[in-house]
Structures are given as structure tokens and as C-alpha cells.
Chains A and B, each alone.
Chain A
């Protein structure tokens, strides 16, 4: 009797859990859904009341306008170049720095590691003005160099790779030392290939982070052609305040590559998040 009732209560609770989770999932996906539907609506349908949930008829009108009023393909190109270069530099420099921190004994190791970690706490605002002055003095404003310089290596990247390299067994280097490999060969031919999973996580993290970043490219560019996608969309927003069909087309244009990347490489995204924050 009693256990039967407990069972029924359990069923009800289970349904309630699914219901709550689904409601929250709908709420969290609704904005993206609304962005795509609006982007594919016909001009007048955008502000029709009651609103259309599914665009009918679908139209590429807003995208055509987006391509003609803005330099969005150039911004896409800039974003892709900047994010790729920053990712490449991070992989190289962070793995080089992580290697001795994870695998070597040397004076000052803990101090250097602690210094690098504590840099994660520094708010970007304090370096903004000095970086701007430095970059403009060097003539790097509106140059790719200026856009990538401040993020060429990140404390997070070193931390993530160091944590991973520490878990590799000691024997991998011993064999190489017996074979007479030099330090650089051990790093590049043995440690790096074994670190591939962590490098993939870092690459995805840095790439999406830079794809989405607004503040620095906003300050380091003032020519229309050197904007990255976020800065370009911000300027579009200021010029086309109320043309939401156009703005949603722009937002969808910027979000789509990241969403595809996420759906394809989901496990790398979640792995990068959990490094360092979870015990054990």
C-alpha cells in the first residue's frame, strides 16, 4: 500500500522535474529561435501582431539588405583572421609555457605559476587605456597586429595545458632521454602530441572567446573596414536602431558559425569549462 503510493509520488516528481527542465530549456532557447525566425521573415511580417511564430513566407530580404548596407563579409573575414591567429599563438606560447611548469623542477616555478594565475583576476578595464596608448603609439590601430596583440597568450590557456600535462606519466620522457632527444624534441615530438585533447579544448575556447569579444576591437579600430563582427554589429545597431529584421539577420549571421561549431564539438566546450574548477 505505502510503497505503491511512494512509487506514484516518485512518478509525479519525475514528471515535474522534466516539466521544469523543459520550461527552462524553452526559455533559454527562445531568444535564439526568435532571432532566426525574425531574420527570415518578410519585411512587414517582422512587426505584425500577433507575431508569426514560423516565418511564412520565408524571405531573404533582410540578409540581402544586410549584405548591401554593411561590409559584413569583410567583418566576417576580419573576425576569422583575428580569432584564428590568436588561437594559433595561444596554442604555441601557452603549450611552451605549460611544459616546464608541468614537467620540470626549477627555481621560481611555483612563483611564476602563481603570478600567471593571479593575472586572471586583473580586470581588463585597468589595462585598456595603457594598451590603447601603446598600440596607437606603435601605429597598430586598425591593424590586425593591434587586434591580436593583447590576447596572444592567456593565463587560462597556460593553466589548462599545465593541468593536463601533469597527468601524463613520467615514463614518456625517460624513454626519449635515453634515446638522446633534446628538450625541444621532447616537447614537440612527445609532449605536444599527447596533449592534443587539451589543445583542442583550448583552441575552441580561445576561438569562440575571440569571435565574441567586443571591447578591445571596439577601441583598437575606427575604420569601418577593420571592424570585427561584434564591433560591426554594434555599429549597425547604432545606425539602424529600429530595423529589427536587419539586426536579427546580422545577429544570426554572427551566431550561426558558433552554434554549428558547438553542436559539432560539444564535448570540447564542456571539458574546457570544467578544467580547474572541479576538484579531482
Chain B
């Protein structure tokens, strides 16, 4: 409050700076969220909408494909997020003690696939997974493994998508873990070494607990992202074969923008919204004790 009372213009200035951003947020986020919730209770048509209460929700809850899409998104998330975090942590743990130039090489190599968009990667992986001429079945044949149908078989389609996410998508997490490891003071390790702790014990007792904020961040962002997985589905499988890879985002897209059933799409979106919000709140409650060092 250095210059609090010379005039009122000064007091308004912060709000003026915030005005453009807040206006845009209101138009493209806040109003649409409210309208999205509202639409979930309406039957939408161009000439006018009518309130139909919970009918849209009843419709999706009675739709086995809706449950299938939630189930698939959940399976995908439960596999991809924890396994991805373990891979990232393990890789970061191995990279961290290396000299600087090897560090940057591996960081770049792991991060590069993340730079190419999921649209590009989906096209490439469709090609790798191609049953007759794809590279993966060729490599399998070299070591005598029976070729797989990959995306064309309902049993292997979703696992194929998980594999793709796990093998190419960890660069960002590895870099985050490395940055966090760099922030842990060296004297903690020194004290542990004096007490006779080996590298593995140091990792379990010091590194891992002190990385908790990073792990929490990766878990929340990973879950939010994985539950909404869409691009890969749209580019590679269209939800098939036999709905084995339909996810909730694709279900929303299909109902909203292929069948133009906005009410049903909104009801499914509200369901996803509630799931994501409650998961985020839960995770914060469980993990958000401040780490001190």
C-alpha cells in the first residue's frame, strides 16, 4: 500500500490489466461450462430446446456403449498412468548420475516423440501395427513370435493403444523428474551415505519421498489426460473393432458431432467432468501434505 490513496484510478489498474483475459475466459470457458451443464438437461433442436430433466442421463446410463466407453477409458488410465510414471521414474533415476552431454542426448531422444503430435504418432503407429506389412509383425517373425492382429482384434486393440502411449509418451515426465531430482540438496544424500545407505536405499528412503509433489502432479495431469484420450481413437480405430476401443471422449464426440445429439453428448460430458473433478479433489486430499527439505 505504498501509493494507496492518491487516486482511485491506481486501484482500478490491476483489474484493467486482467480484463481482457477474464473476458475471454468468461466467453470461452465459464459460460460454456454453465451452458454445457444446462444442455445436459435439455432436448436440443435448432428451433428451440425443451427441459427434459434427467432423460439424457437415463438414456446414457441405459446405453451399454456408454458404460463400455467409461470402462475402456478407466482401463486405459489405470494402466497408462501408473506404468508410465514407473517407467519415467526409472529412466530419470538412471539418467540422473550421467554426465551432462549424455543427459541431454537421452532427454532429447525421449522427448522427441512428444513433439510430433499424437495425430502424427497415431498415423505412424497404425503403420507399425499393420498386420501384413507392418514393422512390428516383421520384427516378431524374426524372433519366431506369431503375428498379431493388433488394432484389428478386439482383444488386442486397447492394449495396442496403451503400448503406444507407454513407449513414446514418457519424455515430458522424465524431464520433470530429472529437474526435481536436481532440486534435492546433496547433503541429504551425504548424510545417508555416512549412515551406510546404498544407492537403492537412498532412492527408496530419500529420492522417492521427496519427489512426491512431482509424482502427484504427473498423476493428476496424467489421469486428466488419459481419461480424455481422443486423438488416437479418432485417428486409429474410430472406437472399434466392436467398440473395443471406444472411450468416453469419443462417445461424446460421436453423439455430439456425428449424431448431433447435443443433449446426450452434454450429459456424458457432465459425467466425465464430475469424475475428473472428484478425482482431482481426492488426490489433493490424499497426497497434498507439503514436503519439506
A122 engages B33 (CB within 8 Å): yes
**B44 to A: closest C-beta gap in Å:** 8
In the bound complex, residues from chain B placing their C-beta under 8 Å from that of A280 are 183
Inter-subunit contact A255/B116 (CB<8 Å): yes
Residue from A92, A122, A259, A270 within 8 A of B29 (CB atoms): A122
**Interface presence of B239 (CB below 8 A):** no
Pair B176/A93 contact, Cβ less than 8 Å:
no
Min CB gap B265→A, angstroms? 6
Q: How far is the CA of A124 from the CA of B22 in the complex (A)?
A: 18
Q: Are B266 and A31 in contact (CB under 8 A)?
A: no
A136 to B10, CA, bound (A): 40
- Note all chain A residues with C-beta closer than 8 A to B18: 96-97, 100-101, 112
Assess whether A73 is interfacial by the CB under 8 Å rule. no
- The reply to whether the CB of B270 lies closer than 8 angstroms to some CB of chain A is yes
Tell me whether A129 and B17 are in contact in the complex, defined as CB-CB below 8 angstroms, given that A121-B276, A215-B230, A279-B213 are known contacts. no
Contact check, B117 vs A31: say whether CB atoms are below 8 A apart: no
* B124 CB, nearest partner CB in chain A, Å: 5
**Residue among B14, B36, B111, B179 with the highest chain A CB neighbour number at 10 A:** B14
Q: Is the CB of A105 within 8 A of B1?
A: yes
Task: Assess whether B241 is interfacial by the CB under 8 Å rule.
Answer: no
For B210-221 the 0/1 string (1 means CB < 8 A from A) is: 000110011000
Residues on B with beta carbons closer than 8 Å to the beta carbon of A251: 116, 119-120, 123-124
Report whether B176 and A274 are in contact in the complex, using a CB–CB cutoff of 8 Å.
Answer: yes
Contact yes or no, A130 B32, CB < 8 A: yes
A176 at the A/B interface (Cβ < 8 Å)?
no
Quick check: B228 and A125 within 8 Å, CB to CB?
yes
Q: Which residues of A contact B14 (CB under 8 A)?
A: 100, 104, 106, 109
Tell me how far the C-beta of A218 lies from the nearest C-beta in chain B, rounded to whole angstroms: 8
B-facing residues in A76-110 (Cβ within 8 Å): 92-94, 96-97, 99-101, 104-106, 109
Query: In whole angstroms, what is the CA distance A17 to B91 when docked?
Result: 9
Interface status of A27 (Cβ within 8 A of chain B): yes
User: How many B residues touch A, CB cutoff 8 Å?
Assistant: 96
Cross-chain contact A121 with B235 (CB below 8 angstroms): no
Residue of A nearest to B228 (CB): A123
A28 touches B112 (CB 8 A): yes
Instruction: Specify which of B24, B115, B168 is in contact with A269 (CB 8 Å cutoff).
Output: B115
Tell me whether B35 is interfacial, beta carbon within 8 Å: yes
A211 touches B (CB below 8 Å): yes
Chain A interface bracket (under 10, 10 to 19, 20 to 34, 35 or more): 35 or more
A17 touches B24 (CB 8 A): no
B17 touches A96 (CB 8 A): yes
List of B residues within 8 angstroms of A50 by Cβ = 138
Contact mask A14-50 → B, CB, 8 Å, 1/0? 0001101100110111111011001000000011011
Cβ of B95 < 8 Å from any Cβ of A?
yes
Q: Mark B11-36, 1 if CB is under 8 A from A, else 0.
A: 10111011011101101110111011
Interface string of A196-235 (1 = CB under 8 A from B): 0000000000001001111100110000000000100110
Alpha-carbon distance between A115 and B240 when the two chains are bound, in angstroms: 39
Residues of chain A within 8 A of B252, CB atoms compared: 125, 128
B157: Cβ under 8 A from any A Cβ: no
**Interface residues as binary, B146-185 with A (CB distance below 8 Å gives 1, 0 otherwise):** 0000000000000000000001101110011001100100
Main secondary structure of the interface of A (DSSP, over half): helix
- Which B residues are CB-close (under 8 A) to A250? 123
Contact B106 A21 (CB under 8 A): yes
Contact of B36 among A129, A149, A254 (CB under 8 A): A129
Q: Chain B residues near A94 (CB, 8 Å)?
A: 21
- Does chain A have a CB within 8 A of B244? no
A-B contact pairs, 28 of them (CB 8 A): A25-B106, A31-B128, A38-B127, A96-B18, A96-B21, A106-B15, A116-B21, A125-B269, A125-B273, A127-B33, A127-B36, A128-B252, A128-B269, A129-B256, A130-B33, A131-B32, A133-B35, A152-B28, A177-B3, A214-B117, A214-B119, A214-B231, A234-B235, A248-B123, A251-B119, A254-B117, A259-B115, A278-B213
Q: Give A residues with C-beta under 8 Å from B.
A: 17-18, 20-21, 24-25, 27-32, 34-35, 38, 46-47, 49-51, 92-94, 96-97, 99-101, 104-106, 109, 112, 116, 119, 121-134, 149-150, 152-153, 155, 158, 177, 183, 187, 208, 211-215, 218-219, 230, 233-234, 237, 244, 247-248, 250-251, 254-255, 258-259, 261-263, 266, 269-270, 273-274, 276-280
For the complex with contacts A127-B33, A244-B130, 14 further pairs of A-B residues with Cβ separation under 8 Å are A21-B95, A28-B171, A93-B20, A97-B17, A99-B17, A104-B14, A119-B29, A128-B269, A129-B256, A130-B39, A131-B32, A132-B257, A134-B31, A230-B119
Q: Which A-B residue pairs are the 9 nearest by beta carbons?
A: A212-B117, A100-B14, A97-B21, A130-B32, A127-B32, A25-B109, A130-B35, A255-B116, A47-B133
Mark B residues whose CB is within 8 Å of A.
1, 3, 10-11, 13-15, 17-18, 20-22, 24-25, 27-29, 31-33, 35-37, 39, 91, 94-95, 98, 102, 104-113, 115-121, 123-128, 130, 132-133, 135, 138, 167-168, 170-172, 175-176, 179-180, 183, 213-214, 217-218, 224, 227-228, 230-231, 234-235, 248-249, 252-253, 256-257, 262, 265-266, 268-270, 272-273, 276-277, 280, 291
